[in-house]
Amino acid sequence: MDGCQSGVPTYEGDLHVVAAAHHIVKALGATKNLSDDLRKILIDLDSHLSMITSNIDSKGGRGLVDVEERLDQAERKIMRWETDPMMIWDSGPKEASDYLEAVDETGKLVDGLRGLSVHENRKQKEILHRAMNILQMAMSRLEEELIHILVRHGQQFEPKHMYSRSIRKDIVYDESFVSVEDEPIKETSSRNYSNDESGECIVDLVHADVIPDIKSIAKVMFSSNYGPEFCEAFISVQKEALEQYFSFLGTENLSIEDVLKMEWTCLSSKMNKWTWSMKIIVRVYLASEKQLCDQVLGGLGSVSSYCFLEISKATILCLLNFGEAVAMGPHRPEKLLRLLDMYETLACLLRDIDTLFSEEAGSFIQLQFHELLERLGESAIAAFEAFRVAISSNGSLYPFAGGGVHPLNKYVMNYIRMFPEYCNTLNLLLKNQHPGVADQVTEPDYGLDASLLTSCPMAYHLRSITSCLESNLHKKSQLYKDEALQHIFLMNNIHYLVQKVKGSELRLFFGDEWIRKHNAMFQQHAMNYERATWSSVVSFLKDDNPGSSSMSKSTFKERCKGFSVAFEEVYKTQTSWSIPDPELREDLRISTSLKVVLAYRTFLGRNLAYTDDKCVKHTVEHVENSLLDLFEGSSRSLRNSRRW
């Protein structure tokens, strides 16, 4: 080795080489399981090297003078910055370069002096001690400069579309159901991040122009055996920046106890925020942090991976802990979609996590991700079953006023309309939940064969859920004492089922045959309503002697009175009944009108001789118009419509 390259003059360099050989022999001598002969050879060689060192030491007086002069020059360059309030790297590239040269020179001198035998040379000891103090001072200054560069040139960024996410309104299971409203639900994806944002998007966390400066500091500090101090400073700044960004996303570090005690509205918001925060943190921030670590420390073996793990693990574990708390919480029906969001988020991030934490030291992160994914899947299945149980077990002591669409029906159908978004995931999770379900995983594509979708696991479970719902609705219909209102209630609710299926992607999973069957069901209830209500009313208008031109006046009066009383009673009662769907309401009014008005007109037409009598309280037009008031949900009384 050239003596100048070692940091001391040639004879000092020679001594450095001999000293290095001396250290190697010492290390070999400390090895266990050496034979006696080999151990004796090493002892003899060590003694010989010591004699060579002593001979060279006697010639080294002038060399120490040169070393001291070089140290003086380096010290002047380093010490001038100890009194200067300016940061070195803010003062220009030449100042930074001169400082690094002085630090590098001091480091070489320290290495050279350490290689000498200084046991009996007081001057050498003094110079070495002085050089080490100067080097330590410079290292402290480089730490400060590193922190300053990282903080000053750190770059903040906002994820794309962060404030334009479409957030789905929760549909909450409530046994009173007073809070359920039938509002339009967007069929667009509700998983709160765009395609651009879901993909990896690496950004510069530190301005690219200062990366060479950071690398130059790293090079000098590592070559001077101050690598741990560099890593500590680098990790500290970058970890704090990540924690600040984590806070900027609005994600909190919550304990498991905090999560388990949280009200659903708050928890739902946190779960929703978790899904997109996790993707942004992993695919954008951590991917960018990994790039920065590799740019600065990539040539130093596992140092880059170590720093990245130390920077990121606290934030990642915080996100994982929240997921664990959610998975172990109660399996309530309304948690299902949020759990599916979280499950899908983790599933699509597994490859990213395996890449980011590929080193053995980060394997525990990989393991926790995989375990959490499994637990979230189990929780989603449990929530799905809780959803089914909630539908089946929902009971009522009193009939639903007006016979309209029951809130349970609205809750269930509005909820399951969002299931097709999770088709692949639900098929995967549910395929083993029933032995008779086909093992198919199919995306909801309108171009696919409908038979594939109607036979997939999710389709089976959707039909099972609506079957539970129909059974419950039939039980609720029995709470009405009026048979006609039972049919109105079932007509309304089955019609609502059909419309929700027809008007969404659910149609692909239920199939046209299901729709035809249920169309026939609500139409049958409409016919049953007409029979139960109007058959007895219209019976007053029937002629006992069809062959005769008219009935007796007394019979006519009796029939008119009976019809009027019955019609008025129906009017008073059924104006308070409700058919919420305008088209269904109009269809039933028309059907009823055709039946009742035609019979009433025919009845009066056959008995024209008596129509001026006071017993005829209602004209045909009044009856026809009065039928338009039915099913509005507000009770009314019918007034006399005599024309005189």
* Mean pLDDT, residues 467-487: 96
Mean pLDDT of 463-485: 95
Condensed to tens digits (0 to 9), the pLDDT of residues 358-415 reads 888 889 999 999 999 999 999 999 999 999 999 999 988 999 999 999 999 999 999 9
Q: How confident is the model at residue 441 (pLDDT cuts 50, 70, 90)?
A: very low
pLDDT digit string (tens) for 88-142? 999 899 999 999 999 988 888 888 787 765 555 778 888 889 889 999 999 999 9
Question: What is the Cα–Cα distance from 454 to 431, expressed in whole angstroms?
Answer: 14
Average pLDDT over residues 577-598: 94
How is the chain split into domains, by residue range? 15-29+36-57, 58-155+209-221, 250-393, 404-436+451-536, 541-643
pLDDT of amino acid 21:
65
Give residue 15's pLDDT band: very low, low, confident or very high (50, 70, 90). low
pLDDT of residue 30: 59
Confidence of residue 35 (pLDDT cuts 50, 70, 90): low
Residue 190 pLDDT > 50: no
Q: How far apart (Å, rounded) are the C-alpha atoms in residues 226 and 138?
A: 11
Phi and psi for 632 in degrees, rounded to 5? -90, -10
Of 85-89, 165-169, 540-544, minimum mean pLDDT range = 165-169
Q: What is the pLDDT of residue 382?
A: 94
For residue 492, the one-letter residue type is N
pLDDT of residue 171: 56
Q: How many CB atoms lie within 10 A of CB 172?
A: 16
Q: Which helix (H) or strand (E) holds 504?
A: none
Q: What pLDDT does 574 receive? A: 93
CATH topology of domain 541-643: Monooxygenase (1.20.1280)
**3-class DSSP state of 206:** strand
- Residue 329 CA to residue 344 CA, distance in Å, equals 19
The conformation of residue 116, written as its DSSP 8-state character, comes to: S
Q: Is 599:538 a contact under the CB 8 Å cutoff? A: yes
pLDDT of 68 above 60: yes
Mean pLDDT of the chain: 83
* pLDDT greater than 80 at residue 424: yes
Asked if residue 71 lies in contact with residue 109, where contact means CB atoms within 8 angstroms, the answer is yes
For position 275, what pLDDT does the model report? Answer: 92
- Per-residue pLDDT, 202: 86
Residue 162's pLDDT is: 46
Tens of pLDDT, residues 445-455: 444 445 568 88
- Which pLDDT does position 453 carry in this prediction? 81
Least confident residue range of 172-181, 272-281, 409-418, 520-529: 172-181
Tell me the CA distances in angstroms from 82 to 75, 77, 101, 226, 325, one per residue in order.
11, 10, 16, 19, 51
Confidence at 542, pLDDT banded by 50, 70, 90: confident
The pLDDT of 296-319, averaged and rounded, is 93
Whether residue 444 has pLDDT greater than 60: no
CA angle 110, 114, 115 (to 5 degrees): 120
CA pair distance 24, 39, nearest whole angstrom: 14
Query: Which two tokens mark 423?
Result: 């088709």
Average pLDDT over residues 136-153: 94
Question: Could you read off the pLDDT of 595-617 as tens digits, one per residue?
Answer: 999 999 998 888 887 877 677 88
pLDDT at 369: 95
- Tell me what pLDDT residue 5 has: 45
Amino acid 572: pLDDT: 92
Cα–Cα distance for residue pair 485/533, rounded to 1 Å: 9
pLDDT over 70 (residue 173): no
CB 21 within 8 A of CB 50: no
Written as six digits, the tokens of 40 are 């004796």
Share of the chain above pLDDT 70, in %: 77
The helix (run of H) or strand (run of E) holding residue 211 is: helix 211-223
DSSP string, 143-179: HHHHHHHHHHTB-----TTTT---PPPP----TT-TT
Compute how many other C-beta atoms are within 10 angstroms of the C-beta atom of residue 406.
Answer: 24
- Give the residue with greater pLDDT, 618 vs 31: 618
How distant, in Å, are the alpha carbons of 269, 381, 391, 503 from that of 413? Answer: 22, 19, 11, 11
pLDDT above 70 (res 436): no
Choose the most confident range, by mean pLDDT, from 24-38, 117-131, 192-206.
117-131
Is the confidence at residue 278, as pLDDT, over 90? yes
- Structural contact between residues 514 and 540, judged by C-beta atoms closer than 8 angstroms: no
Confidence at 22, pLDDT banded by 50, 70, 90: low
Instruction: Band the pLDDT of 512: cuts 50, 70, 90.
Output: very high
Rounded distance between C-alpha atoms, residue 554 and residue 574, angstroms: 30
Cα angle value 214/219/224 (rounded, 5°)? 130
Percent over 90 (pLDDT), the chain:
56
